[in-house]
């Protein structure tokens, strides 16, 4: 931004129009600050006096406000320009405000990559694990497991500013409690949502070979993104893993029995 002060003398304009008498100019040693403040000798025109005035010219939007580099908060922020220093300092003296070098506002992007530890205060929702059948398994048949979580946004503060972090699940780590584990990018879903029958295999199902009591654990790994003040989403370096509350279930052998009603008619019947 180019800011410059132009000293205009109304007396000169009046003199040129032939309306005044001899013009008395200010003394040669009058400083710029003195001219701006009006402390220098005035120019006489006829019976009246016309004071030297300062006008301001700048490149801008035409709304009468200072362009970037100036703010109306009692402090003038001045671009660095050796040729304009004296003029700007004089202007600040006249306005009786503090002039300080202007610096751009801090930007999160300038602090370097944001890591998962930087967003530790943004806590993602705790995932949950589900299973079918509920809390029991039949040895030799598939037990269906699934996770209930999805991408979600958490509000908070990052580097002193309002921010949002978006957590997206990218991996589901299953520990089936019998020494077997599995990692998948598929959260799984119920047999009904797959539109398949009970005990059919699914991407997250597991077969228990021995009867017993088991504890099943799900750990969900999240990738994160952040944004500040509605800006575009930026990647966060690293991932975060959250463990869901564990499931406990019992595996046993099944014996086929003849019943007089199906599970729809008698939901509490054997095998339902």
In a domain, 106, yes or no: no
Same domain? 209 vs 235:
yes
Look up residue 211 and give its two tokens.
Answer: 């009867």
* Sequence-ordered list of residues with C-beta below 8 angstroms from that of 31, at least 6 positions apart, any chain: 90
Cα angle 98-4-36, degrees, rounded to a multiple of 5: 60
- Would you say 191 and 202 are in contact if contact means Cβ atoms under 8 Å apart? yes
Give the pLDDT confidence of 2-19 residue by residue, as tens digits: 333 333 333 333 344 444
Give the pLDDT confidence of 140-167 residue by residue, as tens digits: 999 999 999 999 999 999 988 899 999 9
103-109: long-range contacts, CB 8 A cutoff, minimum separation 24: 103/77, 106/159, 108/158, 108/159, 108/161, 108/163, 108/226, 108/228, 109/234
CA distances to 2, 100, 118, 224 from 84, in Å: 9, 14, 42, 47
Q: Which residue has the higher pLDDT, 85 or 52?
A: 85
In a domain, 12, yes or no: yes
Same domain? 248 vs 115:
yes
Same domain? 192 vs 160:
yes
In a domain, 85, yes or no: yes
At residue 230, the pLDDT reads 79
Same domain? 152 vs 237:
yes
Same domain? 129 vs 46:
no
Q: What percent of the chain has pLDDT over 70?
A: 56
Neighbour count for residue 97 (Cβ, 10 Å): 14
Same domain? 93 vs 128:
no
In a domain, 14, yes or no: yes
- Would you say 173 and 216 are in contact if contact means Cβ atoms under 8 Å apart? no
Q: Is 50 exceeded by the pLDDT of residue 71?
A: no
Same domain? 115 vs 93:
no
In a domain, 166, yes or no: yes
CATH code of 225's domain: 2.60.40.10
Evaluate if pTM is beyond 0.85: no
Same domain? 124 vs 220:
yes
Same domain? 118 vs 247:
yes
Same domain? 47 vs 80:
yes
SS3 187: coil
In a domain, 59, yes or no: yes
Over range 242-250, report the average pLDDT: 97
In angstroms, how far is CA 95 from the centroid of its own chain? 38
Structural domain for 60, as ranges: 3-101
Same domain? 53 vs 121:
no
Same domain? 81 vs 161:
no
At residue 196, the pLDDT reads 96
In a domain, 264, yes or no: no
At residue 174, the pLDDT reads 98
């Amino acid at each position: 931004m180019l800011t410059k002060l132009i000293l205009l003398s109304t007396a000169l304009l009046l003199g040129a129009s032939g309306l005044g008498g001899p013009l008395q100019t200010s003394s040669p040693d009058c400083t710029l600050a003195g001219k701006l403040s009006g402390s220098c000798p005035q120019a006489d025109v006829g019976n009246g006096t016309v004071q030297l005035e300062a006008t301001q010219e700048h490149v801008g939007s035409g709304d009468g406000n200072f362009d970037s580099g100036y703010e109306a908060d009692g402090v003038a922020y001045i671009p660095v320009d050796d040729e304009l220093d004296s003029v700007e300092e004089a202007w600040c003296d006249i306005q009786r405000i503090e002039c300080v070098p202007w610096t751009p506002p801090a930007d999160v992007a300038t602090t370097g990559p944001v890591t998962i530890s930087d967003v530790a205060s943004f806590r993602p929702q705790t995932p949950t694990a589900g299973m079918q059948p509920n809390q029991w398994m039949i040895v030799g048949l598939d037990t269906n497991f699934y996770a209930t979580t999805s991408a979600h946004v958490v509000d908070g503060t990052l580097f002193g500013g309002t921010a949002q972090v978006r957590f997206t699940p990218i991996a589901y780590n299953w520990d089936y409690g019998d020494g077997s584990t599995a990692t998948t990018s598929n959260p799984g879903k119920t047999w009904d949502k797959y539109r398949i029958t009970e005990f059919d295999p699914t991407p997250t199902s597991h077969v228990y070979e021995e009867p017993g009591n088991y504890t099943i654990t799900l750990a969900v790994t999240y990738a994160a993104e952040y944004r500040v003040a509605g800006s575009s989403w930026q990647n966060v370096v690293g991932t975060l893993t959250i463990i869901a509350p564990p499931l406990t279930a019992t595996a046993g052998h099944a014996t086929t029995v003849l019943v007089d009603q199906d599970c729809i008619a008698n939901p509490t019947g054997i095998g339902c």
